[in-house]
């Protein structure tokens, strides 16, 4: 599978040099956007102005942009952990949506428990994502089932089932949205940049980055996880339980996605709205790739992605293009992000 070659491509960046590749890619992606605007828009100047400046023109848009980045940070961390162990988790969509749903219904059920209820709800959400992804890890460990495809298929099943539950048994009859009931006021995270949607969930996202970084680079288990990804044979001879890390890394990956879903509910949505998280799982994957699976680099990568989305949304509101130009710009990033030719621009002198 491609996962090990990916690891090699992304190994040992030096901070300054490794920034050159991503910057070139960002520049090329934004260049593609300029071309798109010229081709598709009657008023390209207006489109571009709102795309580039819209997300930062006032606290409302800037706060919303950062808020968009929060689930991407959790997803990016989740993917990074799995990739570091040489596993592919392609089920982020279902893990995030499932985690968000379980967090919502737990929070409604535990409405009178206060802080303990909130923490428990988040844990249940994380467990949901973790078990879903961990199951794919288990299949790989047990029968060598390709976890890339199994996690993807399982995620599709979960997305459909959760949508069914939201529209059916758990629908709130008092709203016109297809959504569950809303969680209690006391469970909602504080808004920290009124009038935008940005909530204190952003602190938890930053905390998660620090914890994942410490886990991977300061703890024995994190070291073993990385060894499994770099060279499973070597790890096995060194006495590391490789098969266990196949499950554990996927579990952690899904748990982070589930947590991202839970914080999206507590911080922004307050109820599971049908298909509210569509695309967040995939974008988490993209973020991890841009960050080259470095936990700390996930933050700027998630902000860059959120910037593209917010820019597209702003251009759609104020000009004549549609939101989906964001997908095209993101695709350009994907096309270029693993190019070893472009990477080498940054790390030239080293013989490959």
Partner 1 sequence: MNTVIIPILRSAISIMTPLLLAAMGGLFTELSGMLNIALEGLMLMGAFSTIVFAYSTGSLLQGVVLGVLSTMLLATLFALVTLKLKANVFITGLATNLFASGLTVVLSYRLFGNKGVVVFDNIAALPRISIPLIRSIPILGDLLSGHHVFVYISWVLLILVGFSLYRTPFGFRLRAAGLHEKTLISLGLKPDRYRFIAFLISGAACALAGAILTLNLGAFVPNITSGKGWIALVVIFLGQKRPFGLFVAALIFGFADAFSNYAQGAWNIPADVILTIPYLFTLVAMVVFSIYTNRRSRVE
Residues that bind partner 1 (CB under 8 A): 1-2, 5-6, 9, 36, 40, 88, 139, 143-146, 149-150, 152-154, 156-157, 160-161, 163-164, 167-168, 282, 285-286, 289, 321-322, 324-328, 330-342
Half-sphere exposure for 294 (CA within 13 Å, toward CB): 17
Asked if the peptide bond before residue 205 counts as cis, ω within 30 degrees of 0, the response is: no
User: Smaller CB distance to partner 1: residue 82 or 286?
Assistant: 286
Question: Closest approach of Cβ 340 to partner 1, in Å?
Answer: 4
Residue written as token pair 């993209």:
286
Q: 127 near 255, Cβ under 8 Å?
A: yes
Please give the C-alpha separations between residue 271 and each of 104, 169, 280, in angstroms, as whole numbers.
6, 14, 17
- R_g of the chain computed on alpha carbons: 20
Question: Closest approach of Cβ 219 to partner 1, in Å?
Answer: 28
Residue written as token pair 């499950």:
247
Residue written as token pair 């899904």:
254
Question: Closest approach of Cβ 330 to partner 1, in Å?
Answer: 6
Question: Closest approach of Cβ 163 to partner 1, in Å?
Answer: 5
Q: 266 near 276, Cβ under 8 Å?
A: no
Residue written as token pair 């680099």:
297
User: Smaller CB distance to partner 1: residue 268 or 343?
Assistant: 343
User: Smaller CB distance to partner 1: residue 203 or 335?
Assistant: 335
Distance CA 7, CA 81 (A): 12
User: Smaller CB distance to partner 1: residue 6 or 81?
Assistant: 6
Overall residue count recorded for the chain in this entry: 352
10 Å CB burial of residue 174 (0-12, 13-18, 19+) is exposed
User: Smaller CB distance to partner 1: residue 105 or 189?
Assistant: 105
User: Smaller CB distance to partner 1: residue 119 or 157?
Assistant: 157
Q: Where are the alpha helices (DSSP H) in the chain?
A: 3-9, 15-40, 44-53, 59-84, 92-109, 115-143, 147-167, 201-218, 220-230, 232-237, 242-264, 280-290, 298-318, 325-337, 340-346
User: Smaller CB distance to partner 1: residue 161 or 184?
Assistant: 161
Question: Closest approach of Cβ 14 to partner 1, in Å?
Answer: 21
Q: 267 near 172, Cβ under 8 Å?
A: no
Question: Closest approach of Cβ 249 to partner 1, in Å?
Answer: 18
Question: Closest approach of Cβ 11 to partner 1, in Å?
Answer: 14
User: Smaller CB distance to partner 1: residue 208 or 287?
Assistant: 287
User: Smaller CB distance to partner 1: residue 160 or 317?
Assistant: 160
Question: Closest approach of Cβ 23 to partner 1, in Å?
Answer: 17
Distance CA 348, CA 318 (A): 43
Question: Closest approach of Cβ 148 to partner 1, in Å?
Answer: 8
């Amino acid at each position: 599978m491609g996962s090990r070659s990916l690891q090699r491509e992304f190994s040992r960046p030096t901070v300054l040099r490794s920034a050159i590749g991503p910057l070139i890619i960002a520049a090329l992606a934004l260049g593609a956007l300029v071309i798109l605007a010229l081709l598709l828009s009657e008023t390209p100047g207006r489109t571009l102005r709102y795309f580039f400046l819209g997300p930062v023109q006032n606290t409302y848009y800037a706060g919303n942009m950062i808020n968009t980045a929060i689930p991407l940070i959790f997803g990016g961390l989740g993917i990074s952990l799995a990739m570091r162990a040489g596993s592919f988790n392609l089920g982020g969509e279902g893990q995030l949506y499932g985690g968000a749903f379980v967090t919502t219904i737990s929070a409604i059920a535990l409405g009178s428990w206060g802080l303990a209820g909130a923490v428990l709800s988040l844990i249940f959400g994380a467990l949901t994502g973790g078990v879903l992804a961990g199951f794919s890890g288990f299949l790989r460990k047990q029968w060598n089932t390709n976890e890339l495809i199994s996690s993807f298929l399982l995620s599709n099943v979960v997305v459909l089932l959760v949508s069914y539950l939201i529209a059916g048994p758990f629908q709130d009859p008092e709203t016109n949205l297809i959504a569950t009931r809303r969680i209690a006021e006391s469970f909602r995270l504080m808004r920290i940049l009124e009038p935008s949607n940005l909530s204190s969930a952003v602190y938890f996202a930053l905390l998660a980055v620090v914890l994942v970084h410490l886990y991977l680079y300061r703890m024995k288990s994190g070291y073993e996880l990385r060894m499994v990804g770099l060279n499973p044979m070597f790890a096995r001879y060194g006495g590391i339980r490789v098969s266990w890390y196949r499950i554990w890394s996927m579990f952690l990956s899904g748990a982070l996605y589930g947590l991202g879903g839970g914080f999206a509910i507590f911080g922004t949505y307050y109820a599971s709205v049908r298909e509210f998280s569509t695309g967040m799982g995939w974008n988490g994957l993209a973020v991890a790739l841009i960050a080259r699976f470095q936990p700390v680099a996930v933050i700027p990568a998630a902000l860059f992605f959120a910037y593209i989305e917010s820019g597209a949304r702003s251009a759609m509101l104020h000009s004549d293009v549609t939101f989906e130009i964001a997908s095209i710009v993101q695709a350009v990033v994907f096309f270029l992000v693993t190019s070893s030719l472009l990477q080498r621009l940054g790390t030239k002198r080293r013989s490959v």
